[in-house]
Amino acid sequence: MHLSYTPEEEAFRQEVRQFLAEKLPKDLSAKVKSGKRLAKEDYMRWHRAMYEKGWVTPMWPKQYGGCGWSPVQLHIFDEETFAAGAPRTVVFGIKMVGPVIARFGNDAQKAEHLPKIRSGEVFWCQGFSEPGSGSDLASLKTRAVREGDHYIVNGQKIWTTLGHFADWIFCLVRTDTNVKKQEGISFLLIDMKTPGVSVRPIITLDGEHHVNEVFFDNVKVPVTNLVGQENKGWDYAKFLLINERFGIAGVGQCKEELARLKEMAQTERKNGRPLIEDPLFAARVARCEIDLMALELTNMRMLVAEQQGASAGPLSSILKIRGTEIQQKLAELQMDAVGPYANPWMPEALDATWNGEPVGPDYAAPKTPSYLDKRKTSIYGGSNEIQKNIIAKAVLGL
């Protein structure tokens, strides 16, 4: 039992740091650190930098462009990129549909899609949730009916993150209505330029446009866009969700947010002293920091176990639960740290090109929107209640 990194792991950390120092644009990290709104091009600049380095799809199988990194290396990469102020990787191509195509797709699909996911030429979004199918995802109703060489798709997807940036969408669709709900689902790749696809924005409670509704009105999708076998889509969706569990705890991101919180709490004053010296506020920060230490170590324990061939399996759902709770708590503490300046509603201040006079400290404006936005974390990716159902069933045998 020891906590030290191997010399190889330390050398890798140095390599990552050097890459970040050279290739992460300074204006981009400044935007991320100050909570400004990111444009599609911001995400793509960072994507291309990683692509050129060969690091954009580290967890893919090696023959498709993976790096063969160990779980510990993935953790180091995650930690360092967040500490440097890199934007969150857009997960839909590289962490979601890419691995599914690499595992279950045919050769033509691999040749067509994998290189474009890696280069960033095609921006993907995810079509899983529907208005009537949230936690009960398998009840989804979007229909795909086979007609010759095409499926005709009708229905609606919702909460489609960055759908307004996307070129393609991967969808779960119903191809059989006469069987158990999980057994009639297929996994389809759909070009969003196809006639009949329309995207409508949903403005979330932070006043921002992150998510969308996507409508399908008699959309003709070539059957060559079916991944794997018809009616096996639920299996691929489960693979996708399990595959997503690396990094879902958000340890690197949380450490960076904690550092920002502490900086702010040094600057903010209470009773003429730095806020961080107020015993009540200090206690709230300390509780959250201890939870984060526990999460980081538990994440490492599970990663190292994975590396040693003893996977934690579905128990790793606890990382999603606690990780999202901590992300929410940190956003809440940052909002509380700015006191009354949490209240002014200044959406214009989130624009990096805005030159106006800030109300209160210049870091205050994004805090309440971010607090509101973070509520989503315990809902998406399988709500935390669904995660508990999974643990109860698969780990505890209840």
Partner 1 sequence: MDFSYSEEQTLLSNSLRKLLEDSYDADKRRKIAASERGFSDEAWTRYAELGLLGLPLPESAGGFGGTAIDTMIASVELGRALALEPFVATVVMGAGAIRLAGSPEQQEAMLPAVAEGKLKLAAALGEPQARFDLDDVSTTAAKAGADYVLNGRKAVVLGGDSADKLVVSARTSGGATDRAGLSLFVVEASAAGVVRRGYQLVDGRGAAEVTLSDVKVPQSARLGAEGGAWPVIEQVSDLAISALLGEAIGAWERINELTLEYLKTRQQFGRTIGQFQVLQHRMVDLTLEYEHAKSLVYLAAMEADSTAASQRGRAIAAAKFFVDDKGRQCGEHAIQMHGGIGMTQEYVLSDYVKRLAMISHTLGDSDHHLARFARASTGKA
- Per residue, the 3-state secondary structure of 107-147, as one string, reads HHHHHHHHHHHHHCCCCEEEECCECCECCCHHHCCCEEEEE
H or E stretch including 83? helix 71-83
Could you say whether residue 308 binds partner 1 (CB under 8 A)? yes
Interacting residue with partner 1 among 283, 311, 348, 362 (CB under 8 A): 283
Nearest CA among 88, 347, 324 for reference residue 203 = 347
Burial code (b: 16+ CB inside 10 Å, e: under 16) for 167-193 equals ebbbbbbbbeeeeebeebbbbbbbebe
Residue 162 backbone class (left: φ over 0; alpha: ψ -120 to 50; beta: rest): left
Residue 87 phi, psi (nearest 5): -70, 160
Answer for the pair 19, 53: CB distance below 8 angstroms, yes or no: yes
Give residues 244-263 in contact with partner 1 (rule: CB under 8 A). Answer: 262
Q: What's the CA gap between 227 and 233, in Å, rounded?
A: 8
Q: What's the CA gap between 80 and 59, in Å, rounded?
A: 17
- What tokens does 383 get? 């709500």
Interacting residue with partner 1 among 24, 49, 72, 275 (CB under 8 A): 72
Query: Nearest approach, Cβ of 393 to partner 1 (angstroms)?
Result: 8
Interacting residue with partner 1 among 167, 176, 183, 289 (CB under 8 A): 289
Q: Measured from the CB atom, is 36 or 260 closer to partner 1?
A: 260
Q: Measured from the CB atom, is 137 or 318 closer to partner 1?
A: 318
Interacting residue with partner 1 among 11, 30, 145, 290 (CB under 8 A): 290
Query: Nearest approach, Cβ of 303 to partner 1 (angstroms)?
Result: 9
Could you say whether residue 322 binds partner 1 (CB under 8 A)? yes
Q: Give the count of beta carbons closer than 10 Å to the beta carbon of residue 39.
A: 13
Could you say whether residue 297 binds partner 1 (CB under 8 A)? yes
Answer for the pair 168, 189: CB distance below 8 angstroms, yes or no: yes
Query: Nearest approach, Cβ of 247 to partner 1 (angstroms)?
Result: 17
Answer for the pair 222, 147: CB distance below 8 angstroms, yes or no: no
Active-site residue, 244 included: yes
x/- track of binding to partner 1 for residues 356-395 (CB under 8 A): -----------------------------x--xx-xx--x
- What tokens does 364 get? 């205050």
Could you say whether residue 95 binds partner 1 (CB under 8 A)? no
Could you say whether residue 30 binds partner 1 (CB under 8 A)? no
Of 19-27, 28-36, 218-226, 278-286, which segment contacts partner 1 by CB under 8 A?
278-286
- Name residue 174's beta-bridge partners: 143, 185
Answer for the pair 57, 65: CB distance below 8 angstroms, yes or no: yes
Q: What's the CA gap between 180 and 229, in Å, rounded?
A: 17
Answer for the pair 375, 305: CB distance below 8 angstroms, yes or no: no
Q: Measured from the CB atom, is 122 or 282 closer to partner 1?
A: 282
Number of residues that bind partner 1 (CB under 8 A): 42
Q: Measured from the CB atom, is 316 or 370 closer to partner 1?
A: 316
Query: Nearest approach, Cβ of 354 to partner 1 (angstroms)?
Result: 34
Interacting residue with partner 1 among 305, 342, 346, 372 (CB under 8 A): 305
Interacting residue with partner 1 among 47, 50, 282, 369 (CB under 8 A): 282
Amino acid identity for residue 163 in this structure: G
Could you say whether residue 2 binds partner 1 (CB under 8 A)? yes
Among the options 15, 183, 244, 325, which is catalytic?
244
Could you say whether residue 148 binds partner 1 (CB under 8 A)? no
**Angle at which helices 279-307 and 317-337 pack, to 10 degrees?**
150
Q: Measured from the CB atom, is 40 or 301 closer to partner 1?
A: 301
Query: Nearest approach, Cβ of 366 to partner 1 (angstroms)?
Result: 25
Interacting residue with partner 1 among 223, 315, 342, 359 (CB under 8 A): 315
Residue with tokens 């989503």: 376
Point out the residues that are catalytic. 244
Give the residues lining the site for partner 1 (CB under 8 A).
Answer: 1-5, 9, 72, 262, 276-277, 279, 282-283, 285-287, 289-291, 293-295, 297-298, 300-301, 304-305, 308, 315, 318, 321-322, 385, 388-389, 391-392, 395-398
